[in-house]
Chains A and B, each alone.
Chain A
Amino acid sequence: MSKDLPKAQTGIEGFDEITQGGLPRGRPTLIVGGPGSGKTLLSMEFLVNGAMKYGEPGVFFSFEETEDELAQNVASLGFNIKALKEGNMLAIDHVKIEAAEIVETGDYDLEGLFVRLGYAIDSVKAKRVVLDTIESIFSTFGNTVILRSELRRLFRFLKEKGVTAVITGEKGENTLTRDGLEEYVSDAVIVLDNRVIGNIATRRMRIIKYRGSSHGSNEYPFLIDENGFSMLPVTSLGLDAKVTDERISTGILDLDAMLGGKGYFRSSTVLITGQAGTGKTSFGMEFVRAACESGKRSLFITFEESPDQVVRNMRAIGIELQPFVKRGLLRIRADRPTSYGLEMHLATIHKLVRDFRPDVVVIDPISSLMSIGEEAEIRSTLVRLADYLKMSGITSLFTDLKHAEQPRESSMISSLVDTWIFLESIESNGESDRILHLVKSRGMAHSNQIREFHITSKGIELIPPYVGPAGVFTGSARYAQEAKERAEEVIRAEEFDRLKAALEQQREVLESQIEAQRAEFANKEADLQRRIEAENRRKEAIESSRRHMRIMRTNSSKRGD
């Protein structure tokens, strides 16, 4: 987008961003659209903002509506035409041309129009001019040769006057505009669209042409509401965002601790994914509660519940939101996903953010948007939204509903968020335990833990982690594991005692056995001793009787018997 081309700001946020400054100054811009597309409104806002915000008086030439009709139409948007007229910042002329009144009888030109235009411009020293919609003259005056040449003259006239002009035209069937105005206005061409696709109405703006720059065929969604035109600005992909060290509490002290002691980074994007019932909304709400308690403003956007339901559900877990709503610190906005098109949702969010200026935005859940668009579309618009929030210094938290069949840790925007928390409910031992997995957290040393948590009547509580040799356990499984280990210790101790006792016993047995054997041995020894003694006595006896017999023989031989 050329930055050298001088521009006239429209004062419509998003529009000036997209065009990098507004409309080409001193040149005509053609705005094309069907009935009700917002042409008149856009042009009027261009003038009103010009007068009120930039001190540039303007002239509005209406070929279709009367002055009163115009004033009425824009009064509901807060534009006070009357005051601007009285202050000489705005001149309005209703050019009424009734074909029935007119008879052409020869050569003529449209000098009357020029006179009026010149007079109006001079009367307020206008810098901006709107002709809405000049195509009317095509249906009134039959002489196209004259018309063409006069139109060319008109645009020369406007350029000479140095005004930034906005020309509106009806959309044609085969041509851009019904009567070919684009022939004359070639500096910038904008098309406004109000399409209805399957019951969903979406307004889009397209910049077909912008002199001095190449423009993509991007379509930009916009809203028209009680404050006028509202566009979702295109942002560079957040790469220019200010990096900040400030933190903001998650609302759960232990979670703050897990994130390096202090909480989420301000202006960061947080994603909480999980299946139904895992507690995503509750985490979002703890965050909101903490923010409101510290006086910050929070915007909570829900696609699934009504504001009353939200308040009630949170009350059950100890988060009382009603006082914050009353004090204007919390705004809860509920929309059905199918209420409007994707762009309208985002344009609405953008507008809410602009009006309410929250510090914190929670969107619960982004997955609801899947029913109204293709994933690629949704992703790209979420990227833009996340960037916009980041650049506005807002800390945002998105929840994303996962379905059972989807891969465990996946989300369409996980790659662009700063902090990603995954919630899960695990069944074990017939119980359901809740765990939290801090999947990633950019920019801080995080504990990378899986933590168990409870949702109690006092809110979310994280449980100190148990890490044992068998891995991480939760809930009763964890207690069981602890008990098991204790038991194992006891068993080991008991085993030892038993062994000791057994050994002791064995020793005793052994000793008694030894004793018995010794006794037996002693017996045998004694026995043997006795036998020896007995043998000795017998030998003795034999010996003695032999001696005795010898003596007797000797005695008998002496006697000579």
Chain B
Amino acid sequence: MAGQTPKSLAAIANLKRMSEDLTDYEVHIEIIDLQKDPQLAKVDQIVAVPTLVRRLPPPMRKIIGDLSNEEKVLIGLNIRDRGTR
């Protein structure tokens, strides 16, 4: 995120909610505010905001947006395959 914008706050809220449902997984969430640490944008190659970066397991995934589309988020995180429940 980059500052407390409505999009970012929505994303955080959505993320928190989803992670509560993912009881089978060990979830670590790190929230980085680029306004506070701008140099990290380069390190993590962040362009769009908000971006959810899935570091582990590889491959790395960048899920951008306010995460309002839960289905897409889970597919993007490889937690749910397309076509499965």
Cβ 8 A contact of B45, one of A97, A108, A111, A141 = A97
A112 adjacent to B69 (CB under 8 Å): no
- Is A108 touching B38 in the complex (CB atoms < 8 A)? no
CA of A265 to CA of B54, assembled, Å: 76
A116 vs B51: C-alpha distance when bound (angstroms): 14
Identify A105's interface contact among B2, B3, B67, CB under 8 A. B67
**Known interface pairs A103-B76, A116-B42; A109-B62 also in contact (CB < 8 Å):** no
Count the A residues whose beta carbon is within 8 Å of the partner chain — how many? 24
Contact B49 A105 (CB under 8 A): no
Q: What separation, in Å, do the CA atoms of A114 and B49 have in the docked complex? A: 10
B2 partner, pick from A106, A107, A111, beta carbons under 8 A: A111
Do the beta carbons of B34 and A103 come within 8 Å of each other? no
Instruction: Indicate whether A119 sits within 8 Å of B39 (C-beta atoms), given known contacts A112-B48, A112-B51.
Output: yes
Q: A103-B64, A115-B2 are in contact. Are A110 and B47 (CB under 8 A)?
A: yes
The residues of B that contact A103 with a CB separation of less than 8 Å are 61-64, 72-73, 75-76
Closest residue of chain A to B52 (Cβ to Cβ) is A105
Q: A112, B67: Cβ atoms under 8 Å?
A: no
Contact B42 A93 (CB under 8 A): yes
A118 near B38 with CB under 8 A, answer: yes
Tell me the A71-107 residues at the B interface (CB within 8 Å): 93, 95-97, 101-107
Contact B64 A104 (CB under 8 A): yes
Chain B residue nearest in CB terms to A96: B45
- Kindly state whether residue A534 has any CB partner on chain B within 8 Å: no
Kindly state whether residue B12 has any CB partner on chain A within 8 Å. no
Residues on B with beta carbons closer than 8 Å to the beta carbon of A95: 45, 47
**Across the interface, which residues of A come within 8 angstroms of B46, CB to CB?**
112, 115-116
Q: Is the CB of A108 within 8 A of B42?
A: no
Q: For residue B83, which residues in chain A have a CB less than 8 angstroms away from its CB?
A: none
Please report the C-alpha to C-alpha distance between residue A530 and residue B71 in the assembled complex, in whole angstroms: 181
B56: Cβ under 8 A from any A Cβ: no
- CB–CB B65/A101 < 8 A: no
User: Is the pair A102, B67 in contact by a Cβ cutoff of 8 Å?
Assistant: no
Please determine whether A109 and B73 come into contact, CB atoms closer than 8 angstroms: no
Closest B residue by C-beta to A122? B38
Contact with A along B1-44 (1 / 0, CB 8 A): 01101010011000000000000000000000011001101100
B41: contacting residue among A102, A108, A112, CB under 8 A: A112
CB distance from A104 to the nearest CB of B (A): 5
User: In the complex, are the beta carbons of B62 and A107 less than 8 A apart?
Assistant: no
In the assembled complex, how far is the CB of residue B12 from the closest CB belonging to chain A, in whole angstroms? 13
| Cα separation A110 to B49 with both chains bound (whole Å) | 6
Structural contact, A112 and B62, CB atoms closer than 8 A? no
Let me know if A106 and B47 touch, CB within 8 A.
no
Interface pair B76/A141, CB less than 8 Å apart: no
Instruction: Specify which chain B residues have a CB less than 8 angstroms from the CB of A113 in the assembled complex.
Output: 47-48
User: What chain A residues lie within 8 Å of B47 (beta carbons)?
Assistant: 95, 97, 110, 112-113, 116, 137
**Residue from A93, A102, A106, A115 in contact with B62 in the complex, judged by beta carbons closer than 8 Å:** A102
Q: A105 near B48 (CB under 8 angstroms)?
A: no
Q: Which residues of A contact B41 (CB under 8 A)?
A: 112, 115-116, 119
User: Do the beta carbons of B65 and A119 come within 8 Å of each other?
Assistant: no
Complex Cα spacing A104 to B63, Å: 6
Chain B residues in the interface with A (C-beta under 8 A):
2-3, 5, 7, 10-11, 34-35, 38-39, 41-42, 45-51, 59-69, 72-73, 75-76
The list of the 7 closest CB pairs from A to B, nearest first, reads A106-B65, A103-B76, A112-B46, A119-B38, A106-B66, A111-B49, A106-B68
Q: A106-B10, A106-B11, A108-B64 are in contact. List 4 more A-B contacts (CB 8 A).
A: A102-B48, A112-B51, A113-B47, A115-B34
5 intermolecular pairs with C-beta atoms under 8 Å apart: A106-B65, A106-B67, A111-B48, A114-B2, A119-B41
